[in-house]
């Protein structure tokens, strides 16, 4: 997996997701995602966790992509998912379902936390076996 440094725009995307989860965190939402499209627009979403029926839950990345697509934007340049637990932010790798969904909207950079440092990699380069958060 080829890891790259974050640009200033990438860092702003991470900060955007952190701000959103700090504002919206509750018992049904523990993760926020922010994405930037090729056109430069920023879209956000939070997860909705339905404990009584897990298959009905949606990931934050899904929510952000749905908002993006609703407003007729359709190519993701970069995306990040952030959680907040016990006052500490973590950048989360996308689950398999989210990776598959994202691939329908390009081959974006995915921002990851690798050995405590934020990096980005192309979606097509990420596999479960390579990522060791």
Q: What is the pLDDT of residues 72-91, one digit of tens each?
A: 899 999 999 999 988 899 99
Percent of the chain whose predicted confidence (pLDDT) is above 70: 95
pLDDT tens digits for range 16-69: 999 999 998 888 889 999 999 999 999 999 999 988 887 889 999 999 999 999
Question: What's the pLDDT at 54?
Answer: 77
Is the pLDDT reported for residue 130 higher than 70? no
Q: CA of 93: how far to CAs of 72, 82, 131, in Å? A: 26, 9, 8
- Burial zone of 130 (CB within 10 Å; 0-12 exposed, 13-18 middle, 19+ buried): exposed
Q: Structure pTM? A: 0.92
Question: What's the pLDDT at 128?
Answer: 55
Dihedral, CA of residue 11, residue 69, residue 95 and residue 100, to nearest 10:
-120
Domain positions in the chain: 8-125
Question: What's the pLDDT at 1?
Answer: 86
8-125 belongs to which CATH class?
alpha beta
């Amino acid at each position: 997996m080829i890891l790259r440094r974050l640009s200033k725009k990438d860092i702003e995307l991470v900060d955007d997701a952190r701000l959103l989860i700090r504002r919206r965190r509750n018992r049904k939402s523990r993760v926020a995602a922010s994405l930037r499209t090729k056109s430069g627009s920023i879209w956000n979403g939070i997860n909705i966790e339905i404990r009584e029926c897990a298959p009905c839950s949606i990931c934050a990345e899904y929510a952000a992509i749905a908002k993006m697509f609703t407003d007729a934007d359709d190519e993701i340049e970069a995306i990040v998912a952030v959680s907040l637990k016990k006052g500490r932010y973590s950048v989360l790798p996308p689950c398999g379902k989210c990776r598959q969904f994202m691939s329908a909207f390009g081959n974006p950079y995915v921002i990851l936390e690798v050995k405590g440092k934020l990096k980005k990699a192309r979606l097509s380069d990420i596999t479960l076996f390579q990522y060791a958060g």
